[in-house]
Structures are given as structure tokens and as C-alpha cells.
Amino acid sequence: MKNPDFLEMFKTRDLYGLYRELAKDGPLYSVNEKLHLVLGYDLCFAIVKKPDTFLSAVTPLEFLKETYDIRIIDAYVDYLKHHCQVLRNSCSTSDPPRHTVVRQILNPFFAKERLAELAPFVSATVRRLLGEMQRRQETDRSAPVDFVSHFSRPLPVRVICELMDLPDLPVDKVVEWTDSIVEPFGLAVDREAALRCARTLCEAQAFFRRLLEGEKDNRFVSELTRVADRVQEENGDYRLDAVDLLTILIIDFLASGNETTTSALSAGMLLLALDEALFDTLSARPELVPNFTEEVLRLESPAQGMFRKVAEDCEVLGYRFRKGDFLNLRFGAANRDERRFECPHEVVLERKHPGRHLAFGAGRHTCVGAPLARLELNAAFGEIVRTFRSCRLACAEEEVAYQTNFFGRKISFLPLYFS
Ligand code: HEM
């Protein structure tokens, strides 16, 4: 198979059918000699648990050299070099010693007590957005409401902006800044789109650089700088500079959680709209909402595929890997592995271990924002089944629009009638 065909394949609507096809002969599918897709739960899990052998610092740029028109990326990087900064790797795509330092800086911002402080804001925002949707629906009963633009996009943006002490940043601006990072990573941009992303990223950098330089008071940035100083005093293995801090702000805080949480909210809402009995069960038994959240994450893993690079020749669960090989861990496929999950394609509210999926990864790189994402998802689904009696899709299921790329997929438009 030629590589461009391989990237095209992931634009299919029937992603899970594609995974079944690719995994026909086993949990490892080789696209070519150097690039392998890991589709089974056990193999994905074993690999993430060996982070020194399977490294994360694989920038898409490095991977793209094998599979993509590298001139597009050259143009993107050139633009950044000349107009702002080429950012460092995200926390997720770093290895020690940088990863250790960055992760220690991020951890306290997602600690239990911190999230308990944020919880009332999350609930209030959920209620406010649902109330606005309800009023919209009441004004014109024949017009459906788009759940993506009115709920699943603004909620994570408002929440992360609250955490970052940026309550006035417009949702659209944050989404645009997030897209400028996520889109090139999804391997689906042409040259023009890549340059647009680079221009937008420079704008985001200018905004955060001003905050870092103290031009405007920001509680969060002051705290981040203090935490970063303390972590570096305790762990001198990696010295952070201004570009590292810019990267942490823009990628690890602002962008990492938006797109993924939006995807999960929309995917869960679609499941509720398609299954009246499920909606009724959750209304009657709201204690099952957290299990529903886990099933949404398992079934529609917003981070479908993450890269690794093999550091040394090795064998895992009988599969041999060679130094320098690239792996793409398809968490979305692993989470529907029938050897691991009974009825893998169905919502099962009373699974024995509802949270044991790979939607947030596992091991060293387990999602630092997972508790925040769970807080938002539980608050949202809980309030939806409490507020509304039912909900119905305003188009055929086949007409629900998806935006797909190699990293993941998200619903881009979800018209609904609530009652
Ligand atoms: C439903 C929502 C989310 C999903 C499905 C998700 C998924 C993931 C996954 C799969 C990883 C591990 C990547 C790997 O092993 O290569 C990860 C890491 C990460 N996520 Fe999330 N994430 C979500 C929400 C968030 C939020 C809300 C934030 C922060 C605001 C966030 C920030 C991060 C960061 C910084 C990492 C890197 C952790 C590390 O490498 O140590 N994520 N996420």
C-alpha cells in the first residue's frame, strides 16, 4: 500500500469497520517496513508500559518524512521560524528528562483539590449552556440546535480559560488557536492550510508571550512560573527556557484538552440521541452517569492514534520491533478489542471495570487532564438527563458530519431536538 492511500483510509466514516479489517490477521498491521499500527488492547498496553523502549518524542514532522509531502511541513516550520517560534514538543511527545520536568509542572494544576475548586464553575457553565440551548429551542420549536457549537465546543474552552485565568478569551479564538496546533498534527493539511495554521499559531504565541513578559496580570501565569522555578530547583536535569513555557501554556494547557473533550461530549450526546432507552435509564439512575462517561470514552476514544518510536531492537508479546521503527498506537481500536471487552461495540452501563480502557493512555504518559475531562463529561451528561425528558436527532444518522484525520475524529455538526 502506498502511504498517501494509507492516510486517506482514515477519513472513512466506518473507522471501526476499518480497524476490524486491518486487525484480521492480528493486532499489528504493518503499513510498510518502518510504520506499524498497533490495534490490540494487550499489545498497546504492553507498549505504553515500556516508555524507555517505545519513545514518545516523535514529532509529526519526523514521522511525516516517511509518509507525507514534506514540503508542506517545511513551509509551516519556515513560517514559524521567520515570524515567531517553532514550539518545543508537547508533554505527550516528550521523553525524560524534559518530560519529567514538564509533567511535574502540570500535575498540581490537575490535583484533586484544584479540581474541587473548579467543579462549581463547571456545573454552572453546563447549566448556563443547556439553559441557552433550551431557550433557543423554545423560541422556535421547528429549528434544531447544533449541540457542537452551542455546547460541546464552548464547555471545555470556558473551563480551561477559567483555569488559566483568561475568562474573557472568546471561544472562537481559542478554537482557532487549538486548531492551528491540532490540524497539522492530524496529517490532513495542504500547504495553504498549513500556512494559515502557522499564522494563527504566531498570533497565539504573541498573546501568551505578552502574558509571560508580565504586560498583563495573570494569576495563572504567575503561579505557573513559580511552580516551574520550584520544579527546576528540585530537578536540575532539564532547564526550561521561555519557549518551553510558551509551549506548556499553548499546547499542554490550552490546546491539549479542548478538541478531545469536545469530541467526547458530542459522541456521548449522539449515543443518547440515538437510544431512547439509554436516555431513560440514565434519567432514572443518574448514579450510572460516570459509567456512561467511561463507555463513551472507550467507544469513541477522542485520541484515536498516538505515535511511538522504537529505541532498540526488542520483542513484546511475541512481536518483534526494530530500532527506528515508528508505531501508531490505535487506542480507538484497542478499546473495542473483543478479546478484552464483551460486546465491545455496545454501551454496557454495568461493566465490571468501566474505567479500564485506553482512552487516556496508560503508564508514564497517562493523560494529566483526565480528571478534568471526567469532571466535565459527568457534569454534562448528568445535567442533560436531568434537564431534558428526551432528545432526538434532527437528521438521519448517516448525515451526522464528522471531521476525521489520522489523530482522531470529531463530530462537526450535531442537530438535535430536545424536549
Ligand atoms: C476526553 C478528553 C481527553 C482525552 C481522550 C485525552 C487523551 C489523552 C491521551 C490518550 C494521552 C496519552 C498520549 C500518549 O500516551 O501518547 C493524553 C495525554 C495528555 N493529555 Fe489528554 N486527553 C483528554 C483531555 C485532556 C485535558 C482536559 C487536558 C488538559 C487541559 C489534557 C492534557 C494532556 C497532556 C498534557 C498530556 C500529556 C501527558 C504526558 O505525556 O505525561 N488532556 N491525553
> What residue ranges do the domains of the chain occupy?
3-418
Predicted pLDDT of residue 66: 62
User: Could you tell me the distance, in angstroms and rounded to a whole number, from the CA of residue 91 to the centre of ligand 1?
Assistant: 9
Q: What is the largest CA-CA distance in the chain?
A: 64
% of the chain exceeding 70 in pLDDT: 95
**In the 8-state DSSP scheme, what is residue 254?**
I
Name the band, by pLDDT with cuts 50, 70 and 90, for residue 7.
confident
Q: Where does ligand 1 bind, in terms of residues with CB under 6 Å? A: 48, 56, 91-92, 103, 106, 160, 252-253, 256-257, 260-261, 264, 302-303, 306, 331, 359-361, 365, 367-369, 372-373
Distance CA 231, CA 226 (A): 9
**In the 8-state DSSP scheme, what is residue 252?**
I
CA nearest ligand 1 atom 41, residue:
365
Mean pLDDT of the 68-76 span: 78
User: Could you tell me the distance, in angstroms and rounded to a whole number, from the CA of residue 256 to the centre of ligand 1?
Assistant: 6
- pLDDT greater than 80 at residue 5: no
Predicted pLDDT of residue 1: 47
User: Could you tell me the distance, in angstroms and rounded to a whole number, from the CA of residue 367 to the centre of ligand 1?
Assistant: 4
Cell representation of residue 268: 456521548
Q: Which residues contact 87 (CB under 8 A, 6 or more apart)?
A: 80, 201, 205, 243, 246, 247, 250, 251
Predicted pLDDT of residue 297: 98
C-beta separation of 230 from 343 below 8 A: no
Testing ligand 1's pocket by substitution, the residue of 157, 244, 365, 367 carrying the most ligand atoms inside 8 A of its CB is: 367
b/e 70-101 (16+ beta carbons within 10 angstroms → b)? eebbebbeebbeeebebbbbbbbbbbbebbbb
Name the band, by pLDDT with cuts 50, 70 and 90, for residue 2.
very low
72-81, 120-129, 273-282: least confidently modelled range? 72-81
Mean pLDDT of the 133-140 span: 91
CATH architecture classification, 3-418: Orthogonal Bundle (1.10)
Predicted pLDDT of residue 128: 98
- pLDDT greater than 80 at residue 70: no
Predicted pLDDT of residue 31: 87
Strand partners for 316: 319
C-beta separation of 303 from 279 below 8 A: no
Amino acid at 380: A
- pLDDT greater than 80 at residue 172: yes
Testing ligand 1's pocket by substitution, the residue of 47, 58, 92, 153 carrying the most ligand atoms inside 8 A of its CB is: 92
CA pseudo-torsion sign 393, 399, 401, 407: positive
User: Could you tell me the distance, in angstroms and rounded to a whole number, from the CA of residue 27 to the centre of ligand 1?
Assistant: 23
Question: 161 by DSSP, 3-state: which?
Answer: helix
The pLDDT tens digits for 183-223 are 876 666 788 999 999 999 999 999 999 999 999 899 999 99
Distance CA 165, CA 242 (A): 20
pTM: 0.96
% of the chain exceeding 90 in pLDDT: 81
Helix (H) or strand (E) holding 234: helix 219-234
Looking only at the bridges linking them, the beta strands covering 401-404 and 409-413 are antiparallel
Predicted pLDDT of residue 53: 98
C-beta separation of 82 from 75 below 8 A: no
30-34, 79-83, 385-389, 411-415: least confidently modelled range? 30-34
Mean pLDDT computed over every residue of the chain: 93
Predicted pLDDT of residue 117: 97
- pLDDT greater than 90 at residue 73: no
Phi, psi dihedrals of residue 146, rounded to the nearest 5°? -85, 110
The pLDDT tens digits for 327-375 are 999 999 999 999 999 999 999 999 999 989 999 999 999 999 999 999 9
Distance CA 209, CA 202 (A): 10
Q: What angle do CA 1, 51, 306 make, to 5 degrees?
A: 40
Question: The sheet that has 28-30: what strands, in order across it?
Answer: 28-30, 35-38, 326-330, 305-310, 54-55
User: Could you tell me the distance, in angstroms and rounded to a whole number, from the CA of residue 252 to the centre of ligand 1?
Assistant: 8
* Percentages of the chain per state (helix, strand, coil), in multiples of 5: 55, 10, 35
